[in-house]
Amino acid sequence: MTSIALIGPGRHGTAVARLFARSGVSVRLYHHRPAKAQAAAAHVRAVARDAEVTIADSLIEAVDGQEIVALTTLWNAPQRSVIAGLGDHLVGRVLLDVSNPLDVTPQGIIPAHPAEGSAGEFVATLLPHGVGHVKAFSNLATAFIEEGGEQSAVLPFAADSARSAEIVRPYFTRTGWNPWLVGDIGMSRQLEIGGKYNAIHGRHGRSRLDAEEMLEYSGPEAVLV
Ligand SMILES: NC(=O)c1ccc[n+]([C@@H]2O[C@H](COP(=O)([O-])OP(=O)(O)OC[C@H]3O[C@@H](n4cnc5c(N)ncnc54)[C@H](OP(=O)(O)O)[C@@H]3O)[C@@H](O)[C@H]2O)c1
């Protein structure tokens, strides 16, 4: 466990990349605009500890050899484009999905209502067979991502299988967050904006509970097959 790929480092993705890089996990970034890739890499390198921050020239180069691929573009069209662009190159890897169903328009940010019930369930329809799927970080404001690890706050996450959950768990633990499996990808709505793990206030602040609060709020961790 030493590295992840991260596709689409904007505001949220750069914070996720920084969280991993500061925890000793190398990050290979891909952005479709090279200047934005360079800018993101500089922000991530500024906090990296015992971790390499590299830039891939293509989607396929980004994921080659990586077990986990964080997809941090906006939901819908960019997700379709990246997942279609990777195709079978995603098979055998776990896609870490951070998305909320929000449309960013010239008129502002507008909540969307995916027919599938959530952005996570929408993403699930795009993934080729054999790709793992984990949903996390969508409940958190960008500013909280790097704080939670220092507080050992609970990081709720959903996964399509026990295998996917166990692949990501040590990466999450390494950041200092306390990973807490809340169910399968059908739980995504609760991890997205307005869902129960976004709206709750805990001892560490909005969307950040400690383990005792989480147990009371949500019960023990889910068990998947
Ligand atoms: N910001 C938050 O507080 C927050 C909180 C929770 C969850 N999230 C979720 O995190 C995701 C990202 O949000 P954000 O605020 O970070 O948005 P953002 O700043 O717009 O970042 C997304 C980045 O992805 C890039 N991108 C688009 N298509 C791409 C492609 N094909 N390949 C590589 N990169 C591509 C975009 O580049 P261009 O725009 O230059 O094309 C942009 O820089 C969303 O799903 C959002 O719901 C955000």
Q: Would you kindly state where each structural domain of the chain is located, as residue ranges?
A: 3-218
For ligand 1, which residues put their CB under 6 angstroms from it? 7-8, 10-13, 30-33, 36, 72-75, 78, 81-82, 98-100, 102, 138, 140-142
Which atom of ligand 1 is closest in space to residue 13's alpha carbon? 16
Which residues are CB-contacts of 59 (< 8 A; sequence separation ≥ 6)? 7, 30, 82, 85, 86, 89
Residue 59 is predicted with a pLDDT of: 98
Residue 46 Cα to ligand 1 middle (Å): 20
Which atom of ligand 1 is closest in space to residue 100's alpha carbon? 47
Q: Starting from the edge strand earliest in sequence, which strands make up the sheet with 154-159, in order?
A: 53-55, 26-30, 3-7, 68-71, 94-97, 132-135, 154-159, 178-183
By most ligand atoms within 8 Å of CB, the mutation choice from 61, 74, 79, 81 for ligand 1 is 74
Burial class (CB in 10 A: 0-12, 13-18, 19+), 46: exposed
Please state, in angstroms and rounded to a whole number, the distance separating the CA atoms of residues 1 and 37: 23
* Residue nearest to ligand 1 atom 47, measured at CA: 100
- Are 120 and 135 in contact by the 8 Å Cβ rule? The answer is yes
Residue 150 is predicted with a pLDDT of: 77
pTM (two decimals): 0.98
Residue 212 Cα to ligand 1 middle (Å): 33
- Are 47 and 38 in contact by the 8 Å Cβ rule? The answer is no
The CATH number of the structural domain formed by 3-218 is 3.40.50.720
Residues of the chain with pLDDT under 50: none
* Residue nearest to ligand 1 atom 18, measured at CA: 10
Please state, in angstroms and rounded to a whole number, the distance separating the CA atoms of residues 54 and 2: 13
The secondary structure of the chain in percent helix, strand, coil, rounded to multiples of 5, reads 40, 20, 35
Residue 1 is predicted with a pLDDT of: 61
Which atom of ligand 1 is closest in space to residue 102's alpha carbon? 47
Residue 27 is predicted with a pLDDT of: 98
